[in-house]
Amino acid sequence: MLEIRRSAERGHANHGWLDSFHSFSFADYRDPEHVHFGPLRVINEDRVAGGQGFGTHGHRDMEIVTYVLDGALAHRDSMGNGSTIRHGDVQRMSAGTGVQHSEFNASQDETVHLLQIWVLPKRAGDAPGYEEKRFDATEKRGRLRVVASPDGRDGSVTIHSDASIYAALIDGAETAEFAVPPGRLAYVHVARGSLTVNGEALQAGDAAKLSDTATVTLSHGEDAEVLLFDLGQLNG
């Protein structure tokens, strides 16, 4: 089964300094039909104005993955980590028993465009943790490159969840296929450009939710950047 969720169907909040689209229920956007998909809980597409950002705030018991599309994002946290991530970088913060952090646009002039992803952990109460890795465009060109996984395989960041995240750049005649393990879910989010997912045309901001599906095929891309999630199933 394949269900398409169009970009315009997402929740939207524009705070001036922050323009954000919510694929799942978040903050003041409440949608009982889109609370989570397996352990995938949040995909927020954020554009943060120059010199602006999220002041120090807390999280717990959540795996938080940040994927920058344009610009640069500065991060500081109570574990002592401080860095600036850019396109190609993937950042993982395990909130665990609790962590405080801040995120700011590293530029005073340019907008930073990013995806912030929350994934439900396998268990509560783990120690907090932090990790970041860089994945060059050549690693994602015409193929699905694992960027986050439960076992940190192939140099991906380690998320403590029944989920793996893949990134791909698809253009022209390039095609990438993913064999969905039996009993699992797949979710495709188009970060930019356009392409087809199992023959269905998707644009930037669109998503495809797939269940009882053996194969996901990404093709007919036009400067497409895509994230694919391999997900276990949750009750409820």
Q: Are 101 and 92 in contact (CB under 8 A)?
A: no
> Do residues 201 and 2 touch, judged by C-beta distance below 8 A?
no
Q: Enumerate the β-bridge partners of residue 7.
A: none
> Hey, is 135 helix, strand or coil?
coil
Residue 236: which pLDDT band, with cuts at 50, 70 and 90?
very low
- The token pair that represents 186 in the structure block: 């797949």
pLDDT average, residue stretch 68-89: 91
Q: For residue 25, give the 3-state DSSP assignment.
A: coil
> What is the predicted pLDDT for the residue at 135?
97
Residue type at 83? S
Q: How large is the greatest C-alpha to C-alpha distance in the chain, in angstroms?
A: 48
Cβ atoms of 113 and 77 within 8 Å: the answer is: no
What does the pLDDT look like over 99-158, one tens digit per residue?
988 899 999 999 999 999 999 999 999 999 999 999 999 999 999 999 999 999 999 999
Burial classification of residue 30, based on how many CB atoms lie within 10 Å of its CB (0-12 exposed, 13-18 middle, 19 or more buried): exposed
Contact 73, 47 (CB under 8 A): no
- For domain 2-231, the question of CATH label 3.40.50.1220 is answered with no
**Between β-strands 63-70 and 112-119, what pairing exists: parallel, antiparallel or unpaired?**
antiparallel
Question: What are the pLDDT digits (tens) for 15-58?
Answer: 999 999 999 999 899 999 999 999 999 999 999 999 998 888 88
